[in-house]
Structure 1
């Protein structure tokens, strides 16, 4: 049984670039718990709030209950559920999962495979991360689910393998003249840019091409906030700031809230700006909630 293929298929039902990280988030959470307690179960009532926080922070804006992946992942051959009545999920009703003492864990076959081959856990986790989230969020997500990963081994499953174009970073940074498109930061040490990154607007994991019109030159801070849905791109290539973002310090106001409504810095004439379909995908699938009014700060 190819467990990497199983992990990759947790998201195959998605269509049209719609994000559905519910099962991958639960699976990553279960792998983190397995690292600490290979025999432990995840009682629904005990992990419900953890799963809600993960879905709120790393899922798309259209919310779902953690009961959905807890029940449905049993169909993927990597997860099993039991209740006070015996084996098998009682359904996706929150009330029923709570009332029946539902508890889940990795399937017996997968637990046995992870014991035989400890490196499999890291390969499965990296498959889930690479196929569902941008690299800027991998470290934070591992910390959130309690996963400690060794340096990567192996490759993605063959049907998920896709090579990134290593030229994209230089092309995007050149197009934006080595300045953050949101704040204009342009730091260097000598001739080497520092703290500047090429961000995918439509995530690479969801078919985003390695093209200039799917890229932004962003400083490290704004890249992270862009991938977390705090920042977005609106009509007229103006910066969106989510109303869900809260920050009272002068730094938060100046570096985030004051960006609302500001036009992007760049790209230079002759370079393609962010394509409308990529902007729309990010607005629908990543940006959190409603934009703030244009800042008067």
Structure 2
């Protein structure tokens, strides 16, 4: 069984780029718990809050339920569910899972494969991370799921996986004149820019193109906040800050809150701005709106 290929082909509801990371998040969480205790079953009532937090932080902005992946991941052959009545999930409702004493864990065949080849766990996790989330979130997602990975591991070859455009970073930094489009940070050591990154607007992991019109030059902090949905870009090309962000320190005000309503810095004339379709995708699928009102000058 090619388990990484199976992890890469989880059946998910998709439509026009709508994010549906429910199954990958549960799979990552289950791998983390397996790493801690290979024989433990995960009672739905005991892990429900953990899964809620993962979905709230790394899923789309709309409300969702952890019962959905807990039930439906069974169909992908990597997960099993049992109740007090025996094998099989009672359904995708929270009440049914709670009242039946439902508990899940990795499928027996997968557990056996992990015992034979412990490195398989890292390859599975890396496949899920690479296909569903931007690199800026990988390490903290591992921590949230309780996973410890060796990031030097080579990713498995999955049929159909695209190759990244290695020249994109330089193209994007040039387009934005080597400064963060949100705050203007332009740090260098000698002639080498430091702390500046090319941030995809429509995530590459979900099919977004490696093109300047799908990217921003952002400092490391604002790249992370952009991928977490704290920051966004309005139709008018201004920075949006979600009302859900709370920060009382001077640093939070100066680095995040004051950005609300600020126009983007760049791109320079003659270079393509963010395509409207990519901006709309980020607003709908990543940004945790509504946005704060613009800060008075």
CA contact (8 A) 2:60 2:286 kept: yes
* Aligned CA distance change for structure 1 residues 16 and 45 (closer, same or farther; 3 Å): same
Alignment partner, residue 52 of structure 1:
52
1:282 aligned counterpart, secondary structure: helix
Alignment partner, residue 225 of structure 1:
225
Alignment partner, residue 31 of structure 2:
31
User: Is residue 158 of structure 1 aligned with residue 159 of structure 2?
Assistant: yes
CA distance in 1, matches of 2:133, 2:159: 19
CA contact (8 A) 1:11 1:24 kept: no
Alignment partner, residue 277 of structure 2:
277
CA distance in 2, matches of 1:12, 1:70: 13
1:138-189 Cα deviation digits (max 9, x unpaired): 0000000011112222424113x11000000000000000000000000011
Root-mean-square deviation (Å)? 1.0
CA contact (8 A) 2:228 2:287 kept: yes
CA distance in 1, matches of 2:154, 2:198: 25
CA distance in 2, matches of 1:143, 1:257: 27
5+ residue gaps, structure 2, are none
CA contact (8 A) 2:228 2:286 kept: yes
Alignment partner, residue 80 of structure 2:
80
Alignment partner, residue 116 of structure 1:
116
User: Is residue 249 of structure 1 aligned with residue 249 of structure 2?
Assistant: yes
CA contact (8 A) 1:11 1:21 kept: no
Alignment partner, residue 144 of structure 1:
144
CA distance in 1, matches of 2:277, 2:135: 22
CA distance in 2, matches of 1:9, 1:230: 29
Pairwise mapping of residues 98-137 of structure 1 onto structure 2 (< 5 A)? 98-137=98-137
Alignment partner, residue 187 of structure 1:
187
CA distance in 1, matches of 2:40, 2:127: 23
1:35 aligned counterpart, secondary structure: helix
CA distance in 2, matches of 1:30, 1:154: 20
TM-fit CA distance, 1:9 = 1.3
Alignment partner, residue 89 of structure 1:
89
Aligned residues: 296
TM-score scaled to structure 2, two decimals?
0.98
TM-fit CA distance, 1:295 = 1.2
Alignment partner, residue 65 of structure 1:
65
CA contact (8 A) 2:267 2:273 kept: yes
CA contact (8 A) 1:11 1:20 kept: no
CA distance in 2, matches of 1:210, 1:12: 24
CA distance in 2, matches of 1:217, 1:120: 35
CA distance in 2, matches of 1:261, 1:276: 18
TM-fit CA distance, 1:254 = 1.3
CA contact (8 A) 1:31 1:121 kept: yes
CA contact (8 A) 1:243 1:289 kept: yes
CA contact (8 A) 1:214 1:275 kept: yes
- The 4+ residue runs of structure 1 with deviation greater than 6 A are none
1:10 aligned counterpart, secondary structure: coil
2:10 aligned counterpart, secondary structure: helix
CA contact (8 A) 2:237 2:263 kept: yes
CA contact (8 A) 2:40 2:105 kept: yes
